[in-house]
Chain A
Amino acid sequence: MVDRIADPWGPRTPYGAGQEWPVRVDTFLDGDLRAEDVDQWVQSASILHSNGDALDIAVRDGRMVGVRGRAVDRVNRGRLDPKDLYGWQANHSPDRLTRPLVRDGDRLVETDWDTAMGRIVDRSKELLDGPGGWGHFGFYTTGQLFLEEYYTLGVIGKAGLGTPHMDGNTRLCTATSAAALKATFGADGQPGSYTDIDHCDTLALWGHNVAETQAVLWMRMLDRRRGPNPPAMLAVDPRSTAVTREADLHLPIRNGTNMALLNGLLREVIRNGWYDEEYVAAHTLGFDELSRTVDGYPPERVAEICDVPAADVRRAAELLGGSQRLLSTVLQGFYQSNQATAAACQVNNLHLLRGMIGRPGAGLYQMNGQPTAQNTRETGADGDLPGLRNWDNPDHIAELARLWNVDSEVIPHWAPPTHAMQIFRYAEQGSIKLLWISATNPAVSLPDLSRIRRILRRPELFVVVQDLFLTETAEFADVVLPGATWGEKTGTFTNVDRTVHLSEKAVESPGEARPDLDIFLEYARRMDFRDRDGRPLIRWTSPEEAFEAWKECSRGRPCDYTGLSYDRLRGGSGIQWPCTDARPEGTERLYVDGVFPTDPEVCETYGQDLATGAELLADEYRAKQPGGRAFLHADEYRPSPEVPDAEHPMLLTTGRTVYQFHTRTKTGRAPQLNAAAPDVWVELNPVDAERLGIGEGDLVGVSSARGAVQARARLSGIRPGVVFLPFHYGWFDQDPADRTPRAANELTITAWDPVSKQPLFKVAAVAVTRLAGGGGVPAPAPTVGGSAPAVAGIPATVGGPAAEATSQVGGE
């Protein structure tokens, strides 16, 4: 038995370079149930992070009773994240939405589906009538639905209504990943494979607290670290986390200075000749400009900007420059900072310069934050077009028009699809009049919440919310549609390393809750969207038919799914795209031949200026004659738009704990997870705490130019001058009479990266004050991971008997 709350990563299974990662099967079953009590195991994969851990759902008497990792799968080899072990219990939560709700004055009242859908469709038809009607619709979706649902939604938006105003909350988590991959390699698509961990000799984690965001990926890294010839490890993060404490070298740089650090590291790599001249000459463009730009960042200057010792910058460069099989991972520390895309591209540059791409151990993960974010991107339910097509390429638009049998003009392609922050701006100005929010909670997750509440409250804005629970956002809705969730519906989704998994329906959904696919199909049917020949635009009715339709859309594109089917995904391991008749087993690594999808006819973008986001034109792009070479992008370091001043002297960064996901819609309803991290806290360095007279557990006020929150103080290993707030905590479970503000996004700034349009959640200037003593009670912060206390004597976070799971090394 293992308490996976106390030990989120479970027992080690060490292994050496080039060996296969040993199997370890993690299981958690309700109460005293044992495997033999389970009626049926139903195949699925994890939905509470982006790692794509394959699992089976245990069903007994028509109810979910637990989960077990799938030993056969390439991604996790049987292991599960604590969120997967316990999070499924949220499906049974008594406050699940079971009937549609409609607004009646200041209340939401239960109704039937016919009434609820009728209201949406009536309003839609009214808005669509007249020129520019398309522009009144905005869709804000998620990274947690299934591929089939996104593709259907994408077709509704792009070919049915003809609106560019569709984005996912993937804008908050993974937009920079996509933007950086497109900018460097010509198209989205992760070059590396998770198996690169098995082969690497050096691991570099760039703003990536993998131990808490993708716990199973961290287990794989830890198992290599505990085995023979372990990889060296570099971590860049202003906090002290399980990752930085494990690393051989930790650079706790000042938030918002990633670009200066990377410029400095690349300078050392180039100056010391640690780059692969042959590879650079044959497979890249832009070396001279990159060299010139980074040359202005000697280690002493980097040390000054980033506030880390120059000697450590040199050591880091030596570590990267000396590696033979370098694996990098990038996440929110880069993606949610200023110059997000530019900095993420610098990591791509590092790998191109060193020729560290497309072979075992030489890999790169521009990570995703959410389980199905990759599909939002691929299918065009966010700011991309389906099949990773280029909005500015008329041939790509014509392909979609042919596929859907609609006029090219219907498909919006006069500008890039509208990004989430701009959708909310149009709603604020009143030109978007219907905002359909599916499976996401912007009232807690977007920056500057008082502004978001103001927008959602606008009487002219018709808000549709499709979710499992009455979220903070649903409180503002005109219509609430109860969705069926993971385990209650069938579909596929794709993880960071392009592994596609099938997730089958295991149990019935509660009450009248419906699969999101059925909701979208019902809307399309009632709106009577037609193709050019007067036939229904969307003719599929089941997930499998939707998957088959998507396969045609993906044909010939980098994310080619045509070799996949539900049958092929059943039973065995997940399969990595591209998967075609020619490559029926999928594709482990992209770009093994150093040929990138930068050909003008293939590429997903003609490129953007990293400093402004200016869109470059097709002719300019063609003039570069990329010919399958990748782009080495260069840019200067520029400080964040908001830096500390006298009034707000500290820097705020936000993030997550291993026990919670997003705004806790599910994890807050799983008892073991919620007990481990029940309430907000704020992390402070003991030096700052002493200066401010703050002790562990004291009540602290944190305020920015936008708002203020209160939280109990956790004295931690975070760098001095910086405070951390977890972004999980809204108010759905607060007493309505005492909703003391605690959401981190009350404080964050409305600003975004010019290329990826990802908001800057990691750089806000704040003031911190002590409000009251804690009476000796420590902060409600977990003692593992980033919130580990800096002082002794704080009781460890444990799950107790209710959290007892099993980990069987070698299988069952």
Chain B
Amino acid sequence: MHLALYLGLLHRAETNLADAFGQVGAAHQEEPDVFHLCAQQAKRCHGYAELLKPFVARYAEEAPAEPDRLHSELFGGTRGGGIGLLRDLQDLYLMAAECDICWTVVGQAAYGARDRDLLAVVRRCEGETAMQLKWLRSRMKQAAPQALVVAE
């Protein structure tokens, strides 16, 4: 049973995403929508990580040792300015995409393990994670022409 590994991966990815949302929001306070929505999403990601905790513990007993290169580092700090905002949102997008695919994988495993409780958590969180991706994409689409073509 290797499910614990992916639960651990997802747990850490959500925790990292929460931190990154927090940092990007704080770094771009002059973009009020980014600031407020990042704070809101950071809270959500922390919530998901909390929801995962009991499952991480439950499956940990059966877990083998963690293989190498399980976790990836997608975030190396924030940047400033219009293009910096785009790049920071892009980092968040990639991190949210990692969470998104992890939810898919964990959801499949939950079917296999016939774990209804886990499936319920996945169902709730995967939809909201997909929405995070959509929000980040919408915000970047709006910002890109001005940042890349218009601004000096």
List A residues at the B interface (Cβ < 8 Å): 131-132, 134-136, 414-416, 418, 421-422, 425-426, 428-431, 609, 611-616, 638, 641, 750-752, 754, 757
> CB-CB < 8 A to A418: which residues of B?
142
What are the nearest 4 A-B pairs in CB distance? Answer: A135-B150, A614-B134, A614-B135, A132-B149
Q: A131 is contacted by which of B31, B33, B135, B149 (Cβ under 8 Å)?
A: B149
Closest to B130 in A: A614
Whether B146 lies near A426 (C-beta < 8 A) is yes
Q: Do A132 and B138 contact each other (CB < 8 Å), given the known contacts A431-B152, A751-B32?
A: no
What residues on B are CB-neighbors of A135 within 8 Å?
145-146, 149-151
Contact of A429 among B141, B145, B151 (CB under 8 A): B151
What is the distance, in angstroms, from B151's C-beta to the closest C-beta of chain A? 4
Would you give the shortest CB distance from B136 to chain A, in whole angstroms?
Answer: 8
A609 and B134 contact, CB distance less than 8 A: yes
Q: Is B39 engaged at the interface, CB distance under 8 Å to the other chain? A: yes
B139 to chain A, nearest CB (A): 8
User: Is B63 in the interface zone, CB < 8 Å from A?
Assistant: no
- Candidates A134, A416, A641, A752; contact of B39 at CB < 8 Å: A641
What distance in Å separates the Cβ of A745 from its nearest Cβ neighbour in chain B? 15
CB distance B134 to A132 under 8 Å?
A: no
Check A431 against B36 for contact (C-beta < 8 Å).
Answer: no
Distance of A134 Cα from B150 Cα, bound (Å): 8
Interfacial chain A residues near B135, Cβ < 8 Å = 609, 612-614
Kindly state the separation between the CA atoms of A611 and B132 in the bound complex, as whole angstroms: 10
B109-152 interface bits toward A, Cβ cutoff 8 Å, 1 = contact, 0 = none: 00000000000000000000001101101100110011001111
Cross-chain contact of A425 among B30, B37, B132, B145 (Cβ < 8 A)? B30
Q: How far is the CA of A583 from the CA of B145 in the complex (A)?
A: 43
A426–B31 Cα distance when bound, in Å, is 10
Q: Are A612 and B37 in contact (CB under 8 A)?
A: yes
**Which residue of B is nearest A418, CB measured?**
B142
Contact B40 A132 (CB under 8 A): no
Q: Is the interface of A mostly helix, strand, loop or mixed?
A: loop
Please give, as numbers and ranges, the residues of chain B lying within 8 Å of A612 by CB-CB distance.
37, 40-41, 131-132, 134-135
User: Chain A residues near B32 (CB, 8 Å)?
Assistant: 421, 750-752
A132 touches B150 (CB 8 A): yes
Distance from A635 Cβ to chain B, minimum over Cβ atoms (Å): 11
- Distance A429 CA – B143 CA, assembled complex (angstroms): 13
Residues of A within 8 A of B37 (CB): 612-613, 754
Q: List 19 A-B contacts (CB under 8 A).
A: A132-B145, A132-B150, A134-B150, A135-B146, A135-B149, A415-B141, A416-B142, A422-B142, A429-B82, A431-B82, A609-B135, A612-B41, A612-B131, A612-B132, A612-B135, A614-B134, A616-B134, A751-B32, A754-B33
A638 and B36 CA atoms in complex are apart in Å by: 12
- A533 vs B147: C-alpha distance in the bound complex, in angstroms? 32
A613's partner among B41, B132, B138, B151 (CB-CB below 8 A) is B138
**Interchain CB contact under 8 A, B146 and A431:** yes
Closest B residue to A421 by CB, please name it: B32
The reply to whether B150 and A641 form a contact with Cβ atoms under 8 Å apart is no
Complex CA distance for A180 and B37, rounded to whole angstroms: 20
Give the docked Cα–Cα distance between A431 and B33 (Å): 19
Contact between chains at B145 and A414 (CB < 8 Å): yes
- B residues in contact with A431, CB < 8 Å: 82, 146, 150-152
B149: chain A residues within 8 A (beta carbon): 131-132, 135
Closest to B137 in A: A614
In the complex, what distance in Å separates the CA atom of A611 from the CA atom of B137?
A: 15
Complex Cα–Cα for A615 and B151 (A): 24
Q: A-facing mask of B44-59, CB < 8 A → 1, else 0?
A: 0000000000000000
Which residue of A has the minimal Cβ distance to B44? A611
Q: Which residues of B contact A430 (CB under 8 A)?
A: 151-152
Q: Is there contact, CB below 8 Å, between B40 and A638? A: yes
The docked-state distance in angstroms from the alpha carbon of A612 to that of B36 is: 10
Chain A's closest residue to B82 (CB) is A429
Which residues of A sit under 8 angstroms from B82, Cβ to Cβ? 429, 431
Q: A609-B134, A614-B135, A752-B32 are in contact. Are A136 and B142 (CB under 8 A)?
A: no
Task: Kindly list chain A residues whose C-beta atoms are within 8 Å of the C-beta of B41.
Answer: 612
Q: Which residues of B have CB within 8 Å of A757?
A: 33
Residue of chain B at shortest CB distance from A163? B150
Shortest Cβ gap from A88 to chain B (Å): 39
Chain B neighbourhood of A425, CB < 8 A: 30-31
Q: Which residue of B lies closest to A642 (CB)?
A: B36
Q: In the complex the two chains form, is B150's CB within 8 Å of A415's CB?
A: no
* B33: chain A residues within 8 A (beta carbon): 613, 751-752, 754, 757
Is there contact, CB below 8 Å, between A614 and B138? yes
Q: Report the minimal beta-carbon distance from B44 to chain A, rounded to whole angstroms.
A: 9
Residue ID in chain A nearest B142 by CB atoms: A415
Chain A residues with Cβ under 8 A from B30's Cβ? 425, 428
C-alpha spacing A131/B152, complex, angstroms: 11
Q: Which residue, B31, B36, B142, B146, has most C-beta atoms of chain A within 10 A? A: B146
